[in-house]
Amino acid sequence: MRFEWLVGVLLLPCASLLAKKTTAAASSKWWSVAIPHRETNEVTGTAPVDEISGPSSSINRIKLLNKSQRKTVRSNSGSIHAIAAAVALAVNECRYQFRLRRWNCPTNTKATGQTSLFGKILLKGFRETAFIYAITTAAVTHSVARACSEGSISTCSCDERDKGPSGEDWDWGGCSDNAIFGHRFAKKFVDAGERGRDSRNLMNIHNNEAGRKTVLAEMKRECKCHGMSGSCTIQTCWMRLPSFRTVGALLKDRFDGASKVVFNNNGNPSGRGRQNPSDFFEPFNPDHKRPNSKDLVYFEDSPDFCERNPRYGTVGTVGRICNNTSLGMDGCDLMCCNRGYVSEMEQVKERCKCTFKWCCEVHCLECDYTRTVHRCE
Amino acid sequence: MRMPLTRPATSVSSVLSEGFIKNSDAAFAPKPTNPNKNLATKCIDPTESLLKPFVPWGKGACTRVRDFEEAVQKQIPASSIVFSVRMPHNGFEMSKLFQFMVGVLTLEIEYDENIHMEKPTVYLEETYSTENTTGLINYYLTTVRMKRAIVRGTNMPEPGAQYDCEPLSLFELSSVHHKHYLINIRLPVGEIDLGNGEKKLTNEDIGAIKDVNIVKSLRLVILMSMIGITITAITNKRVFAKYTTFQPFFMIKAPYKKKHGLSVKHASYSRWTIFCLAIVMSFLNFPLEWLTLIFEIPAMLLISDIRQGASYAMLFSFWIIFVGEHMMDQIERNRLGAYWQQILAIGTACCGLLAFDMTERGSQLINPFYSVWNSEQGAKLAMGFIILAGVCVFVYFFSLLFMVFCVFRNLRMKSIAFNSMPKNRKKYYQALVYRFRFFIIFSLFCAVMTIIFFIMSQVSEIYSWHLDDEDGPRIHYTSGFFTGVYGLWNIYVLAVLFLYSPSHKEEPLLSREMMTMPTIEFPLLSFLRHKRSSNAITNISYLQAVTHPQFLLPCEKVLDISSPPHTRSG
């Protein structure tokens, strides 16, 4: 292994040339595990992209992973379902958070496993790209931690380190803070896709970590006292996983405050030694502070996403519904890029006056509304 | 002059050093309880019968739905959904090393704009099965259980976020004797007969429950010790047990020997209390929990509660009697009747808590899901018992403080006369004052340390969960403090035993002298004080009075307190 770096240096020009075509696809290929592997691979715009199916399809799914990801999945049986659920979670959350923006987190309608779920935007270094990486990794962390507490991943442990005089890994079948395992799993699994050391890989690795950290930082401690007569002499405390909506909202905030960075040559590009990805970049504006490990970073300014652009795989905002009174991104002026909009009166049937009965029964009235809908031209 | 405390001092220092070893062990001990979160699997029970357990995984696993959207699509009614948790997870087995298991239920309720919840109450039907390698062996069913799911915090930022729900205690098992435990919970909807003809609509307003979690919490049999340090802990415990068991026999021997012509009835009450305290502490230290390694003892939690209660009661009684015997006033105190108020307070508090504990833990022997707090009357009754106990303890401490104050006042008065006393007697009283001061300071120190430990354990728990210090040392302060407090009070009792037990060594000179002229000073001193104010008596005349104790002999019966004054080797 001593000559690995030499090989790396020699092959670096070639690798970086190749990387332009391959790494993005390779690193993001794993997202396709969430897509049902059928003849008509269709992910419609609104339907949730989750389908947990039998063992035959999970073999197919594993084929979509690279070697080290496969190894991680195989050594943690049951994790593939968690990953599939994670992708669905991430896509739904991304769509929810970006429902009012020009770029509304579109996913490919044709996902054959060769192209990426989120399209060509991943080949760039936009803010949106940063968000996609962060939210998918956060989703894996969340979903794996959850699967651990359900018992569907058998290898979950509180701590992988067998250090310490008392044997830290003394968990007797699970523990309360499975998020640590989720974090570790997501790091091993997701970052395995980023094998290169170009700027985009570094950015992705940083944003992945930001996503994972956001989940962990939102863990809440809950306690219950059950000593004699309910006193707190004996107290049980555990960590509660945040709802993914909270994580999504936080990452959206981070998206809004993401830092643009430039890459320097301080780091050692061959990746030897333990180095933070953040060692390789510094803020674009030298007056800004360095992004910390929970901040999202990007290095290319986003396009306006107004028009259809096959280079990024975006469809533009033609036909999008906008809000003519809003001054925000969902306002018609901004959303339609000053192209103007068409207002129509539409009859909308909506559920209203719902009464909810646990579980699974929602009694609603159907109300007809006449509503003015504005669509971008 | 040699210190009167050489023998106990060496013993105490050895005990203290042992105590420090114990505490340093404890710093690396596991958490006092080992929490473990289980997300319930949503099984489908189309028959809605409660006769069959539903297993989430393994052989005969149930049919399940992934989430409630799926259930809505498939039109599965709420009553058919069974939340099933099998503990521990696949591939693991429960260990008999665990002393008890406590279950806490947490609900994940999603915020929905359309649903308004006002004081949501959850009605649960729970079943509980135990399982050995051969399969399910027991099946218990409890049905009626109302819980108020208090939703904390109402301002929800956006739909899809979760409510902050109060965790509900679910069950308590005093003995973890089986390999697997299976819990099934249902949240039935509809009209439920509550038993006494009263009907109630259940689970109408609990909102969009997304998931049910059960946090089980386990505690080791060998409290605050774990495999790595078990051996140390065992030896420690044995040493403690040995000291506390055998020491009292040495101590109590002396008065019975009648070497000084004493009869048993002269043995002061504090001696008996010390003896009882030693016995109770030995009982507390005796590793009775280890029996659960062999037998299934569902009453173990109850037994250990009673043990703990008995030791508290004994310690409280000891304090009051010890302080009482140092009062040095005119009241006859060598009988239990003299302390009736305090004893009554302790007794009432103990009985109240015992009654409460018997209803709570006693019922859990039959039904592990039972809790007094679930029914309104039960909660009121339980609260009543606890308030009664609290008031009694308050009264007790108030009177104890008052007595301590009196003792200090008396001691201050007595110490004025020290210089004018004969040497032996002066030494005796100085020792008495010294012992008492030491005792009070030591007790105070222990109390303060306990409070500090308690606060620090609360604080450190809050800040102990860090992300970034993954490589830093992981010390579970809580259990360290827990062990620390436990060890502290053990050392305390042990030190008290050493310091205040009667010596079996002979003190011929002093003893004989004291035998012939016991307890003269107090009436004399009051007399003296009175006279001093009028300057009618001088030190010389006082000494003369002391050297002629016959004058004051009638006081002997009244002041029994110092009748057999075995001082330390002086």
Please give the structure tokens belonging to residue A225.
């006292």
Residue B381 pLDDT exceeds 80: yes
Probe site for chain A from B25, B28, B37, B231 (most A CB atoms < 10 A): B37
Residue B511 pLDDT exceeds 80: no
Do the Cβ atoms of A174 and B37 come within 8 Å? Answer: yes
Is A236 at the interface with chain B, CB within 8 A? yes
Residue A238 Cα distances to A50, A222, B84, B109, angstroms: 30, 6, 20, 18
Tell me the shortest Cα–Cα distance from A310 to chain B, in angstroms. Answer: 33
Report residue A176's pLDDT band, with 50, 70 and 90 as the boundaries.
low
| Exposure string over B271-289, b if 16+ CB within 10 A, otherwise e | bebbbbbbbbbbbbbeeeb
Residue B167 Cα distances to B215, B495, B527, angstroms: 9, 42, 66
Residue B217: which of A52, A236, A356 has the nearest Cβ?
A: A236
Residues of B in contact with A151 (CB under 8 A): 38-39, 56-57, 86, 89-90
Residue B122 Cα distances to A116, B85, B553, angstroms: 45, 18, 75
- Tell me what percent of chain B is helix, strand and coil, each rounded to the nearest 5: 50, 15, 30
Do the Cβ atoms of A245 and B114 come within 8 Å? Answer: no
Tell me the shortest Cα–Cα distance from B533 to chain A, in angstroms. Answer: 54
Residues of A in contact with B462 (CB under 8 A): 221
Residues of B in contact with A46 (CB under 8 A): none
One-letter-per-residue 3-state SS of B99-118: EEEEEEEEEEEECCCCCCCC
Tell me the shortest Cα–Cα distance from B298 to chain A, in angstroms. Answer: 16
Residue type at position A106:
P
Please give the structure tokens belonging to residue B248.
């009292």
The set of residues, in sequence order, having a beta carbon less than 8 Å from that of B51 and lying 6+ positions away, is: none
DSSP secondary structure code for residue A269 in this structure: T
DSSP secondary structure code for residue A301 in this structure: -
List, as own/partner pairs, every contact residues B544-551 make where C-beta atoms lie below 8 angstroms and the sequence separation is at least 24, other chains included: B546/B421, B546/B422, B546/B425, B546/B520, B546/B521, B547/B422, B549/B516, B549/B517, B549/B520
Residues of B in contact with A364 (CB under 8 A): 114
pLDDT tens readout for residues A9-48: 444 444 344 333 444 445 556 777 665 543 333 333 333 3
Over residues B530-547, mean pLDDT: 39
Residue B449 Cα distances to A17, A233, A377, B445, B494, angstroms: 67, 15, 74, 6, 17
Residue A228: which of B102, B203, B305 has the nearest Cβ?
A: B305
Task: Find where tokens 């001990």 sit.
Answer: B29
Cα separation, B214 vs B106, whole angstroms: 6
One-letter-per-residue 3-state SS of B387-421: HHHHHHHHHHHHHHHHHHHHHHHHHHHHHHCHHHC
Is A22 at the interface with chain B, CB within 8 A? no
Residue B189 pLDDT exceeds 70: yes
Give the lowest-confidence range in A145-154, B144-153, B223-232, B261-270: B223-232
Do the Cβ atoms of B110 and A243 come within 8 Å? Answer: yes
Residue type at position B357:
D
Over residues A300-316, mean pLDDT: 83
The per-residue pLDDT for A49 is 36
Element containing residue B193 per DSSP (H, E): strand B190-193
Do the Cβ atoms of B209 and A246 come within 8 Å? Answer: no
- Cβ–Cβ < 8 Å for A147, A186: no
pLDDT tens readout for residues B129-142: 777 666 666 666 66
- Cβ–Cβ < 8 Å for A300, A125: yes
Do the Cβ atoms of A172 and B77 come within 8 Å? Answer: no
Give the lowest-confidence range in A74-83, B38-47, B183-192, B529-538: B529-538
Cα separation, A376 vs A337, whole angstroms: 9
Please give the structure tokens belonging to residue B219.
């505690």
Do the Cβ atoms of B36 and A164 come within 8 Å? Answer: no
Residues of B in contact with A249 (CB under 8 A): 157-158, 161
Tell me the shortest Cα–Cα distance from B329 to chain A, in angstroms. Answer: 39
Please give the structure tokens belonging to residue B458.
């609360």
- State chain A's mean pLDDT as an integer: 73
Give the lowest-confidence range in A74-78, B78-82, B378-382, B526-530: B526-530
The per-residue pLDDT for B148 is 64
For residue B315, which of B252, B373, B259, B396 has the smallest C-alpha distance? B396
Residue type at position B326:
H
Task: Find where tokens 């800040």 sit.
Answer: B463
Residues of A in contact with B76 (CB under 8 A): 360
- Cβ–Cβ < 8 Å for B277, B49: no
The set of residues, in sequence order, having a beta carbon less than 8 Å from that of B242 and lying 6+ positions away, is: none
Between these two residues, B356 and B563, which has the higher pLDDT value? B356
Between A and B, how many residue pairs show a Cβ–Cβ distance under 8 A?
Answer: 181
Cα separation, B500 vs B246, whole angstroms: 15
Over residues A79-89, mean pLDDT: 88
Element containing residue B543 per DSSP (H, E): helix B539-547
Tell me the residues of chain A between 32 and 61 that have a Cβ less than 8 Å away from chain B: 52
The per-residue pLDDT for A163 is 32
Over residues B9-28, mean pLDDT: 44
Residues of B in contact with A178 (CB under 8 A): 37
Report residue B241's pLDDT band, with 50, 70 and 90 as the boundaries.
very low
Cα separation, B479 vs B492, whole angstroms: 19
- State chain B's mean pLDDT as an integer: 66
Residue A358: which of B37, B41, B189 has the nearest Cβ?
A: B189
- Cβ–Cβ < 8 Å for B16, A219: no
Report residue B457's pLDDT band, with 50, 70 and 90 as the boundaries.
low
The per-residue pLDDT for A24 is 46
The per-residue pLDDT for A316 is 82
The per-residue pLDDT for B181 is 83
Max avg pLDDT among A218-227, B189-198, B292-301, B311-320: B311-320
Residues of B in contact with A97 (CB under 8 A): none
Do the Cβ atoms of B86 and A176 come within 8 Å? Answer: no
What value, to the nearest 5°, has the Cα angle with vertex A138 and ends A135 and A140?
A: 110
Do the Cβ atoms of B102 and A236 come within 8 Å? Answer: yes
- pTM for the full model? 0.71
Over residues B181-193, mean pLDDT: 77
Do the Cβ atoms of A358 and B373 come within 8 Å? Answer: no
Q: What is the β-pairing status of strands B64-65 and B121-123?
A: unpaired
Cα separation, B15 vs B488, whole angstroms: 10
Residues of A in contact with B88 (CB under 8 A): 172-174
Tell me the shortest Cα–Cα distance from B239 to chain A, in angstroms. Answer: 22
Tell me the shortest Cα–Cα distance from B546 to chain A, in angstroms. Answer: 54
Residue A131 pLDDT exceeds 90: yes
Report residue B507's pLDDT band, with 50, 70 and 90 as the boundaries.
very low
Q: What is the dihedral of CA A44, A50, A54, A60, to 10 degrees?
A: 70
Residue A196 pLDDT exceeds 80: no
Residue B29: which of A166, A235, A354 has the nearest Cβ?
A: A166
For residue B482, which of B20, B26, B19 has the smallest C-alpha distance? B26
Do the Cβ atoms of A174 and B206 come within 8 Å? Answer: no
Tell me the shortest Cα–Cα distance from B300 to chain A, in angstroms. Answer: 13
Tell me the shortest Cα–Cα distance from A339 to chain B, in angstroms. Answer: 31
**Most distant pair of Cα atoms in chain A: their distance:** 72
Do the Cβ atoms of B167 and A359 come within 8 Å? Answer: no
Do the Cβ atoms of B76 and A360 come within 8 Å? Answer: yes
Tell me the shortest Cα–Cα distance from B495 to chain A, in angstroms. Answer: 25
Residue A254 pLDDT exceeds 90: yes
Q: What is the dihedral of CA B353, B359, B363, B368, to 10 degrees?
A: -50
The per-residue pLDDT for B444 is 85
Over residues B24-29, mean pLDDT: 42
Task: Find where tokens 């997501």 sit.
Answer: A186
Residues of B in contact with A219 (CB under 8 A): 465
DSSP secondary structure code for residue B373 in this structure: G
The set of residues, in sequence order, having a beta carbon less than 8 Å from that of B328 and lying 6+ positions away, is: B407, B410, B411, B414, B522, B559, B561
Is A227 at the interface with chain B, CB within 8 A? no
Do the Cβ atoms of B68 and A217 come within 8 Å? Answer: no
Residue B391 pLDDT exceeds 60: yes
Is A75 at the interface with chain B, CB within 8 A? no
Tell me the shortest Cα–Cα distance from A340 to chain B, in angstroms. Answer: 30
Residue B274 pLDDT exceeds 70: yes
- Cβ–Cβ < 8 Å for A267, A279: yes
Element containing residue B191 per DSSP (H, E): strand B190-193
Residue B471 pLDDT exceeds 60: no
Give the DSSP letter string of A18-63.
Answer: HHHHHHHHHHHGGGGGGS--SSS-B--SSS-------HHHHHHHHT
Tell me the residues of chain A between 165 and 204 that have a Cβ less than 8 Å away from chain B: 165-168, 170-178
The per-residue pLDDT for B257 is 40
Three-state DSSP class for residue A147: helix
Residue B217 pLDDT exceeds 50: yes
Could you tell me which residues are beta bridge partners of residue B83? Answer: B42, B185
What value, to the nearest 5°, has the Cα angle with vertex A8 and ends A6 and A13?
A: 120
Is A221 at the interface with chain B, CB within 8 A? yes
Tell me the residues of chain A between 113 and 172 that have a Cβ less than 8 Å away from chain B: 146, 149-152, 154, 156, 164-168, 170-172
What value, to the nearest 5°, has the Cα angle with vertex A193 and ends A192 and A197?
A: 90
Residue B355 pLDDT exceeds 60: yes
Cα separation, B160 vs B139, whole angstroms: 37
Share of chain A above pLDDT 70, in %: 67
Cα separation, B200 vs B123, whole angstroms: 10
Tell me the shortest Cα–Cα distance from A47 to chain B, in angstroms. Answer: 12
Max avg pLDDT among A257-271, B154-168, B393-407, B451-465: B393-407
Element containing residue B171 per DSSP (H, E): strand B168-173
Tell me the shortest Cα–Cα distance from B39 to chain A, in angstroms. Answer: 4
Give the lowest-confidence range in A52-61, B283-292, B376-385, B416-425: A52-61
- Cβ–Cβ < 8 Å for B164, B171: no
Residue A237: which of B90, B308, B461 has the nearest Cβ?
A: B461
Residues of A in contact with B39 (CB under 8 A): 146, 149-151
Please give the structure tokens belonging to residue B143.
């049905």
